[in-house]
Amino acid sequence: MMQLPVLDETAVQIIATIVKFLVVLVGVLHIPPVMIWVERRVPALMQRRRGPNRVGFFKWRLWGLLQTLADAVKLIFKEESVPGSAYKGFFHLAPLIGLLPTLLFVSAIPFGPAIEIGGWKIPLSVIELDIGLLFILAVTGVGVYGVTLAGWASNGKFSLLGSLRASAQMISYEIPLGLSLIPLVLIYGSLNLQQLILAQSSVWKWGIFLSPISFLIFLICMFAETNRAPFDLSEGESELVAGFHTEYGSAKFALFFLGEYVAMFALSCLCSVLFFGGWQIPFVAHEQLVSLTGSVNIAALCGVMALLLKAAFFMWLYVWVRWTLPRFRYDQLMKIGWKFLLPLGLANVCVTALVLAALA
Amino acid sequence: MSAMVPIEHSLILAFLLFFIGAAGVLIRRNLITVLMSIELMLNSANLLFVAASRQVGNVEGQVMMSFVILIAACEAAIGLAMVIAIFRRYGNIKTEFLRALRG
Amino acid sequence: MVEVWFFYFFAAIAVVASLGVILLRNPVAAAMLLVVTLCALAAEYVLLGAEFSAAIQVLVYAGAIVILFTFVIMMLNLGQEEVGQLAGFSKWALLLFMLGGAGVILIQRLSMGALPPGVPGGAASDNTYEVGMALFTKYLWPFELASLLILLALIASVVIARKPTFPSRDA
Amino acid sequence: MIWMVLLFPLLGALLNGFLLPRRSKLLSHGVAVAAVAGAFACACCVFLEFFATRHSHLYFGFNWLQAGKFTAPFELVVDQLSGLMILIITGIGTLIHIYAGGYMKEEVTTYRFFAYLNLFVFMMLLLVLGNNLLVMFVGWEGVGLCSYLLIGYWFQEEANAKAGMKAFLVNRIGDIGFLIGIFLTYKHFGTVSFSELSSWMNLMPTLAEPYPKALFWITLSFFIGACGKSAQLPLYVWLPDAMAGPTPVSALIHAATMVTAGIFMMTRLSFFFYAAPDTMLIVACVGALTALFAATIALVQTDIKKVLAYSTVSQLGYMVLACGVGAFDAGVFHLLTHACFKALLFLGAGSVIFAMHHEQDMRRMGGLRKHLPITHGVMLVGVLAIIGVPGFSGFFSKDEILWKAFIFPTYGPILWGIGFLAAGCTAFYMVRLLCLTFYGTPYQDKSAHHHHHPHETPWYMWGPLVVLALLSIGVGYLGVPDFLAHLVGGHNLFAHYLEGLIYIPASAQGAWGHLHAEHAHELEWGLMLSSVALVTLAAGTAVFCYTNRPVRGVASFLGGHFPRLHQLLLDKYRVDECYQRKIVTPLAEISTFLWQVVDVRVINGCVNWVGYLLMGTSGIASFRMTGSLHRYGFWVLAGTVCVLIISCF
């Protein structure tokens, strides 16, 4: 391999980080259109109807895939309206504040093993951190501000109620979420996501097998953290019109959509990373793959595909659940969070610690 | 992070934050802002702890910083609960209404 | 030297934002600026090699404590403060106070030569691990007491903030 | 086993009082009866165990009180006296508990009643079983408490509640005497344990002074305590009022058991009393006077329970007289027989009251023999027993007491004479009670027509009565006087049984020589025949006066010829009024003075003035306390800055 003499390690990493960030940003931007299409086609399939399938070029319909493009265009070109009583600055800022933490979240996910370009090892996560898991928890914590500010800045009853509900819910479920991660940290002994993935070297060491209860808690919290059905109380269209984004339209509304789907994607990725071996392909060790394909980079690409596939499953699960389960009542939601998940998570931590101590 | 930021920088920053926080406590009449100013003061202490921990080369400063954060959490929870109680009692949270200490 | 410039950058953010916290009249804006201050300080902690502290700074302070503030502001529906809300005597106090503070800093600056030299490369390789070890061995009892304290604070805040069940004295 | 005796009633009280559901009367009653019956069974075992060896036995529970050299272990003793007492308490208690279930059928809060009753049994057992004065005192106060609670059981009526308070307060005077007695005992002997005191008294002859003056005061204090509990002359006033409680309570507490606690206590401490002849004379006089005094009041009372109450006071007077003349065995024997027949009489009266729908005035009764045949039968037995008809238990016990009084060297015949008169009165008023209630023509109520006929009580109410009636006849034969027993070649079983317990300390043998001296049997025969004759005369007069001629009785005779005497008797010698005027009112006035003037003006005033002074002067110091949080905070911080600046140099 040829060495580029003008660049030192730091510069290469900075450039790589910028490139990776752009790639992720662009990639992430493509999630909502696809997901919206999925959200409309999947229930159509489930309910034995057709769903949107008309929009296309001439006779290439592409299963209606272009419908969402049309929707996006419509949304962006719609007139923006701001309520007269809104707190203007925060009203405009809120969607961005909501989106930023989710983007940071995604950038902490290791999408694959390190690749080699020009002799430099470049990890496939935008920022690789020793405390990746803590970072993710911190970032999710900050994620509440977008919702809260949006509801407050709209200065309307529905918005405020929706945002209070949503933020209380997100804060409540952050605790069991964090608790569900502790057993994994105990088992694998690291907070670094890449290390966590490498520790799940074979299928039987996957998180879901070693700590199934953690998976259960994590799964429930996943739905609650993103305010998705059956925990979509914050929107609750039958009672609160649309919750915290009632007053939002046009591009800012699209930004909220983007934020929601990116958050779903990020959590799906995290779930795959923690419980399903991340980018590792089941039953095929990475070294085998490298020798099989003859290239580290192709093997890494395979890993990326594997992770995306796993994440896609969870994205689909989101849709599946949304069209299957009815919504909880608010008190039920809080009861599940505080009276079921929290004690269960604590017990899980204790039992895992005891078992590990006994084995050690 | 091989190079070290001199501890003097941290000290100055901590002092600035502390005096900004203290000034906030003194000049604001809104109890919530007063509480936030107190958080600023606590943070300046935290910064000092971390910087000292770095200077001395062990993690005890950071342990202390964790405890300070915990105390801050308690203080915020109880302080805000009192703010709510005061709001119920007086209908607002301006400090000039809290004159029970007048001799 | 990059670190030092980064340090100045975040320090500037922290100072400006904290000035905003105490000077802005809108409490929500103040709270948001407090978040900015906290995050800037978290960045400083990273620069000081304390990743764990940075993480819990964001996690606990920004993610939980300030959220509480925001909640209360929203619940009480505190809008803009009216103009002229600074405490009456405090212009003078402020002046005096700042002067005093600056004086102390200057004196401190002068006496700084007495500080012991830092331990180079003192930052631990695995910061989280070391903090954890310290917390659960040497500081185990303080840690447990602290958890008791926070439980008490939890109960106390519920009790204080609960709607009074007895008739108010004014009613 | 001994602990089970105590445990059962306590458990019953706890169950009924706190744990069991309160709706079911059957459950409350069942638990209470089971508790006492269980205690009775255990008491029988304990007694038989003791009876086999006749050696008193100590049961150590735990170290209860300890202060320096002073120790008071929680220790029980089973000997002749306490063995007998636990049999009386649990045995008669069981019968009364069974009876009470019927009597209290219409009550709502029966659980409360039975809880108190079981607690009473527990306390009474504690009183008799304790081996030291302190344990006894706990029981003593405990039975007082239960008595208070049960007298005021129907506390909705103020009179009942007041009667309870009266009982409690009057007993308090006696309790103070008892307490002082305990203190003096400890001061002089350094122990409060009966067994230790007893052996101490045995050592007396070796001491220089055979009759320490202290013993006079000790025994006098104890006698004051006994006066309170056993309703003797100055302090008897609470017992007639205590009839406000339910009748089973009157039977158990205010006739059979609690009021005899004084006699029991004096018997327990007989070695002290023997050694203090001065006290004994007082005791004998008080007893004899009480016997006559109460009997004369009973002559004219119209409330059936009041008559029985004064009769109880009178009979207790006999027992105290017996103690006073040194015949503790006779006193305890009368205690035993009295427990049987007075419980019988009270329960019988309760049956009458029950049948008459809570009518207690004898003038409104009459001719009940037809309606209540069983009750009439057992009441007849009871009356015969109490008036001392030969062959019934009262005859043996009362004559024994009168005989011992007669041979008492100091004023013996006078004491006998008083007791003799009281016996006559007893015969008169008891037969009067019987006649007014059961014979003659039924009372016709002119104003309100009675639609109901009195009915005989259910079996579980008359059953205990029959048992008690049999006992009232039977127990007398345990104590047949020696001179009669010798006729059939036996001796006084009861005196023999108590022999090991009651002994005269060697130092006091001289004063009590007459007890063992030989006396002419002719004298004894003569006294006995004369009392039989008096009883017959008095009973005959009563029958003559009251059968079918309720209007022309002795009452009307007395009322006609000695109106002031009759009124005096009806007013119970106006003792209550005298107490009210001479003691209660001045006391209340002094207390009011202390409260209104000394406490409110002087003490409170001083304290208040200190406060006013401080409040006045503090204004000077607090002018900078503006209450502004900002100012306070500013000065705190400014001070800190100053300290920092100073410390920098």
Q: How many whole angstroms separate alpha carbon D51 and alpha carbon D42?
A: 14
Judged by 3 or more CB pairs under 8 A, whether A touches C is: yes
| Candidates C81, C115, C124; nearest CB to B30 | C81
Greater model confidence, D112 or D203: D112
Greater model confidence, D290 or D409: D290
| Candidates D622, D629, D634; nearest CB to B95 | D629
What is the SS3 assignment for D74?
Answer: strand
Task: Name residues whose C-beta falls within 8 Å of residue A237's C-beta, 6 or more positions apart in sequence.
Answer: none
Residue type, D138: V
Chain C adjacent subunits, 3+ CB pairs under 8 A: A, B, D
Query: What secondary structure does DSSP assign to D491-557, as a single string?
Result: --HHHHHHTTT----GGGGGGGGGGTS---HHHHHHHHHHHHHHHHHHHHHHHHHHSS-STTSHHHH
pLDDT confidence of residue C91: 58
Q: Helices B7-27 and C2-23 meet at what angle, rounded to 10?
A: 10
pLDDT confidence of residue C38: 92
**Residue range D563-589: average pLDDT?**
84
Please answer yes or no on whether B54 and C153 come within 8 Å at the CB atom.
no
Q: How many whole angstroms separate alpha carbon D109 and alpha carbon D350?
A: 19
Residue C103 has pLDDT above 80, yes or no: no
Domain of B76? 30-94
* Residues in chain B, total: 103
Q: How many whole angstroms separate alpha carbon D461 and alpha carbon D464?
A: 6
| φ, ψ for residue A117, nearest 5 deg | -125, 120
Please answer yes or no on whether C150 and B70 come within 8 Å at the CB atom.
yes
- Global pTM value: 0.57
Q: Are B60 and C50 in contact (CB under 8 A)?
A: no
Contacts of D635 in chain C (CB under 8 A): none
pLDDT confidence of residue D206: 52
Q: State the CB neighbour count (10 A cutoff) for residue A162.
A: 28
Q: Are C47 and B6 in contact (CB under 8 A)?
A: no
The CA-atom distances, in angstroms, between D532 and each of D295, D391, D480, D541, D617 are 17, 11, 16, 14, 88
Contacts of B98 in chain D (CB under 8 A): 627, 629
Q: How far is CA D639 from the centre of its chain?
A: 76
Q: How far is CA D24 from the centre of its chain?
A: 31
- For chain D, the distance separating the N- and C-terminal CA atoms, rounded to the nearest angstrom, is 85
Half-sphere exposure of C60 (CA within 13 A, CB side): 20
Q: How many whole angstroms separate alpha carbon D321 and alpha carbon D283?
A: 7
What is the SS3 assignment for D335?
Answer: helix
Q: How close C143 comes to chain A (CA, Å)?
A: 17
What is the SS3 assignment for D326?
Answer: coil
pLDDT confidence of residue B2: 43
CA nearest to C22, candidates B94, B33, D633: B33
Q: How close D624 comes to chain C (CA, Å)?
A: 15
Most C CBs within 10 A among B80, B93, B95, hence the mutation to make, goes to B80
Judged by 3 or more CB pairs under 8 A, whether D touches A is: no
Please answer yes or no on whether C104 and D634 come within 8 Å at the CB atom.
no
Q: Does C63 touch chain D (CB under 8 A)?
A: no
Judged by 3 or more CB pairs under 8 A, whether B touches C is: yes
Q: How many whole angstroms separate alpha carbon C25 and alpha carbon D17?
A: 66
Q: How many whole angstroms separate alpha carbon D39 and alpha carbon D86?
A: 9
> Token digits for D47?
């007694």
Contacts of C32 in chain A (CB under 8 A): 90, 145, 149
Please answer yes or no on whether C161 and B13 come within 8 Å at the CB atom.
no
- Chain C contacts in chain B segment 27-86 (CB below 8 A): 27-30, 32-33, 35-37, 39-40, 43, 46-47, 50-51, 53-60, 62-63, 65-67, 69-78, 80-85
- Chain D contacts in chain B segment 13-42 (CB below 8 A): 22, 25-27, 29
Half-sphere exposure of C121 (CA within 13 A, CB side): 1
> Token digits for D552?
């022309």
**Residue range D219-243: average pLDDT?**
91
Give the max Cα distance, chain A: 67
Q: How close A90 comes to chain C (CA, Å)?
A: 8
DSSP bridge pairs for C10: none
Residue D42 has pLDDT above 90, yes or no: yes
Query: What secondary structure does DSSP assign to D280-311, as a single string?
Result: HHHHHHHHHHHHHHHHHHHTT--BHHHHHHHH
Dihedral, D605, D609, D611, D617 alpha carbons, nearest 10: 170
pLDDT confidence of residue C115: 58
Q: Does D644 touch chain C (CB under 8 A)?
A: yes
CA nearest to D426, candidates D276, D290, D598: D290
Please answer yes or no on whether A130 and C128 come within 8 Å at the CB atom.
yes
Q: How many whole angstroms separate alpha carbon C69 and alpha carbon B75?
A: 12
Binned at pLDDT 50, 70 and 90, residue D209 comes out as: low
CATH number, domain of B73, equals 1.10.287.3510
Binned at pLDDT 50, 70 and 90, residue D21 comes out as: confident
Residue D147 has pLDDT above 90, yes or no: yes
Structural domains in chain B (count): 1
Chain A adjacent subunits, 3+ CB pairs under 8 A: C
**Does any domain span residue B38?**
yes
- Chain D contacts in chain C segment 40-59 (CB below 8 A): none
pLDDT confidence of residue B4: 67
Q: How many helices (H) and strands (E) does chain C have?
A: 7, 0
Contacts of B1 in chain C (CB under 8 A): 3, 46-47, 49, 123
Q: How many whole angstroms separate alpha carbon D307 and alpha carbon D551?
A: 18
Q: How close C80 comes to chain D (CA, Å)?
A: 21
The CA-atom distances, in angstroms, between C1 and each of A15, A292, C8, C121, D54 are 19, 45, 11, 15, 106
Contacts of B57 in chain C (CB under 8 A): 118-119, 122
Please answer yes or no on whether B4 and C118 come within 8 Å at the CB atom.
yes
> Token digits for C138?
């040497």
Q: Which residue has the tokens 């008036």?
A: D387
Per-residue pLDDT tens digits for B47-64: 989 888 888 878 888 899
Greater model confidence, A78 or A220: A220
Least confident piece of the model among A314-328, D84-98, D449-463, D550-564: D550-564
Q: How many whole angstroms separate alpha carbon D532 and alpha carbon D539?
A: 10
Residue A264 has pLDDT above 60, yes or no: yes
Query: What secondary structure does DSSP assign to D395-437, as a single string?
Result: HHHHHHHHHHHHT-TTTHHHHHHHHHHHHHHHHHHHHHHHHHH
Per-residue pLDDT tens digits for C3-36: 788 889 999 999 999 988 888 888 888 888 999 9
Least confident piece of the model among A53-62, C108-117, D45-54, D253-262: C108-117
**Residue range D430-440: average pLDDT?**
87
Residue type, D223: F
Residue C86 has pLDDT above 80, yes or no: no
Residue D308 has pLDDT above 90, yes or no: yes
Binned at pLDDT 50, 70 and 90, residue D574 comes out as: confident
Least confident piece of the model among A163-172, A262-271, B59-68: A163-172
Q: Is the dihedral of CA D98, D104, D109, D114 positive or negative?
A: negative
Please answer yes or no on whether D627 and B27 come within 8 Å at the CB atom.
no
Percent of chain A clearing pLDDT 90 (strictly above): 12
**Does any domain span residue B43?**
yes
Residue type, D513: G
Mean pLDDT of chain B: 83
Greater model confidence, D414 or A290: D414
Residue D93 has pLDDT above 80, yes or no: yes
| Candidates C28, C39, C58; nearest CB to A152 | C28
pLDDT confidence of residue D379: 92
Nearest chain D residue to B97, by CA: D628
pLDDT confidence of residue D119: 94
| Candidates C96, C97, C111; nearest CB to D648 | C111
Strands A120-122 and A115-117: antiparallel
| Candidates B26, B29, B96; nearest CB to D634 | B26
Residue A162 has pLDDT above 90, yes or no: no
Q: Which residue has the tokens 């209630």?
A: D437
Q: How close C135 comes to chain A (CA, Å)?
A: 16
CA angle A49, A52, A57 (to 5 degrees): 140
Q: How many whole angstroms separate alpha carbon D209 and alpha carbon A110?
A: 107
Q: How many whole angstroms separate alpha carbon D201 and alpha carbon A166?
A: 89
Binned at pLDDT 50, 70 and 90, residue C171 comes out as: very low
**Does any domain span residue B11?**
no
Per-residue pLDDT tens digits for D369-407: 888 889 999 999 999 999 988 888 888 899 889 988 998
| Candidates D625, D630, D633; nearest CB to B102 | D625
DSSP bridge pairs for D76: D59, D130
Q: How close B59 comes to chain D (CA, Å)?
A: 27
Q: State the CB neighbour count (10 A cutoff) for residue D565.
A: 13
